[in-house]
Amino acid sequence: MKALLLIVLTLASAAVFGQNGNPITDSMGITQKLGDKIPANVPFKDEAGQDVTLGSYLQGRPIVLFPIFYKCQTGCAVITHEFLQTLLTASHPTGIKALIDKSQTDNNGLKIGKDFDVVMVDIDPRETPALAAAKKNVIMNAFDDPTADAHWHLLTGTLDNIHRVTDAIGFKYYYNPALDVIRHPTGSVILSPDGTISSYTIGNDFPTKVLSSALEIAKQNQVGQPADESRMFGCIQIDRKTHKVTLVVENIVRLGCVLTLLTMIIGISLMIRSERKGGTAARR
């Protein structure tokens, strides 16, 4: 019976946790390419419609790079909000606008333009600089520091150029313009001042100490440790043609895997106990 239990659990683990054929891991994920260089010469448009390259933002400070799209109201909105919440440490009494605690941001190395710049690369080639400008306006309204505007950049580009960047940083996502669907993981890439991939954040949140430490490592042109991939989440969105909700959250799949295995283990354990009780009763 023990041998049978071991075989069942081994097969169940292989079936549940195997990567092959998993519609989520096959269509999206993050492969951490620590130490690689980003393609600095890839052309994009900034939010003002000007021609720029990624390399034009390498100005002696680390860069926090976000692959997102601007119309996204789920994963992208969450990750932007959480990043802002890390930077903005006090709330306005009206609840409309957050204020920067200057002393805390300076001490923690989280001052935009001083300690790092932000670059958002739009993964939807249909979106325009005008949409990027509108998105930036919303973000900048969260600051009372006018200098932040010059150091937070929202880019748009062609699909080929977008893929040159996403491939280089190991960002795998699903894009189907016919169905108007984009599924993607959430996270960011921390670049050192020379354009080296120094570290990643995976998931939706940005603990202050973690982000501050990552930026400090990047500032030294060093490479950090791999991020915890168990925190990976994807984007939840609605297919506008079918009006069906598409949920792409890898943690939920993993939780389902664990629950499946636990259910099997409990079921087999109950069977073994029942057999043992039956054997004991028969001997009596």
Could you state, in order of their start, the residue ranges of all structural domains in the chain? 2-10+250-283, 29-247
- 108 — pLDDT class (breaks 50, 70, 90): low
Question: pLDDT per residue over 156-167, tens digit each?
Answer: 999 999 999 999
- Contact criterion met (CB below 8 Å) for 162 and 173: no
7: which 2 tokens? Answer: 């075989």
Distance of alpha carbon 121 from alpha carbon 113, whole angstroms: 18
What are 197-253's pLDDT values in tens digits?
999 998 888 888 889 999 999 999 999 999 887 656 555 444 444 434 444 444 444
Verdict on whether the full-model pTM lies above 0.75: no
Integer Cα distance of 90 and 98 in angstroms: 6
pLDDT at 275: 64
Of 134 and 237, the one with more pLDDT: 134
Helix 250-283 / helix 2-17 crossing angle, nearest 10 deg: 170
For 107-111, what is the mean pLDDT?
Answer: 65
The pLDDT value given to residue 242: 45
Q: Which amino acid is at 195?
A: G
When the pLDDT of each residue in the chain is averaged and rounded to a whole number, the result is 77
| Residue 167 neighbours by CB under 8 Å, 6+ apart | none
Can you tell me whether residue 219 is helix, strand or coil? helix
Whether the pLDDT of residue 175 is over 70: the answer is: yes
The answer to whether residues 265 and 254 touch, using CB atoms and an 8 Å cutoff, is no
- Rounded CA-CA distance 139/152 in Å is 9
- pLDDT at residue number 75: 82
The answer, yes or no, to whether residue 104 has pLDDT greater than 70, is no
Cα separation of 120 and 63, whole Å?
Answer: 10
Alpha carbon distance 70, 124 (integer Å) = 8
262-272 per-position pLDDT tens digit: 565 666 666 66
Third-level CATH fold of 29-247: Glutaredoxin (3.40.30)
